[in-house]
Amino acid sequence: MNSPAAEVVRLLTVRGETLAVAESLTGGLVAAEITAAPGASQAFRGSVTAYATDLKQRVLGVDAALLERRGAVDPQVAAEMAAGVRKALGADWGIATTGVAGPDEQDGQPVGTVFVAVDGPRAADSGSAGGGKVASLRLNGDRAEIRMESVRSVLALLLQQLASEQPENERAQDTEQNGGF
């Protein structure tokens, strides 16, 4: 069984699509996980680690008023980060992580509050603003555990979106590659 990152790379490569990553609390761990997968260069465009709140606005285009009103740990911020990195790096898909890994709360949010988001090519077609899907998480554990679970969660959300938007020709290729099963 492929790792989630390897499966993401495989699916994107089959589809001829690309991915960009925006990270805050994960600090580059999502990009590291993806680039550890063989063939990542076929699908991975790059990443932005916007740890500082002002970078979320300046580099990723997150609405300054939203950041001022709600802080960086917010579902809409995650959605705008995913859409922003997708646009900034010219990718078909953008994913993002923002949250509180600890040891202290941030923006009034407790440790373990995490938002992960996916923005994809069908988001524009459906007219949804700022992305396809956001998941709100309440994670337990220490700082390292919260960060690693955030990586797993954003990759799982992307895999879910890729599966739900799987083109017909990819299903046929998958069946062919798996010996007709």
Q: What pLDDT digit, counting tens, does each position of 101-154 carry?
A: 999 999 899 999 999 999 999 755 444 444 489 999 999 999 999 999 999 999
pLDDT higher at 164 or 150? 150
**The domain that contains 161 carries what CATH number?**
3.90.950.20
Looking at the predicted structure, is the pLDDT value of residue 171 above 50? no
Contacts of 127 (CB under 8 A, 6+ apart): none
Contact 141, 159 (CB under 8 A): no
Sheet containing 93-99: which strands, arranged edge to edge? 44-49, 19-23, 93-99, 113-119, 133-138
d(CA 167, CA 112): 35
Q: How large is the average pLDDT for residues 143-167? A: 93
Report how many domains make up the chain: 1
Supply the pLDDT for residue 180: 45
Distance between the two ends of the chain, CA-based, in angstroms? 15
Q: What pLDDT digit, counting tens, does each position of 30-88 carry?
A: 999 999 999 999 999 999 999 999 999 999 999 999 999 999 999 999 999 999 999 99
- Give the domain range for residue 56: 4-177
Looking at the predicted structure, is the pLDDT value of residue 161 above 90? yes
Contacts of 180 (CB under 8 A, 6+ apart): none
Give the other-Cβ count within 10 Å of 138's Cβ. 10
| pTM for the model | 0.89
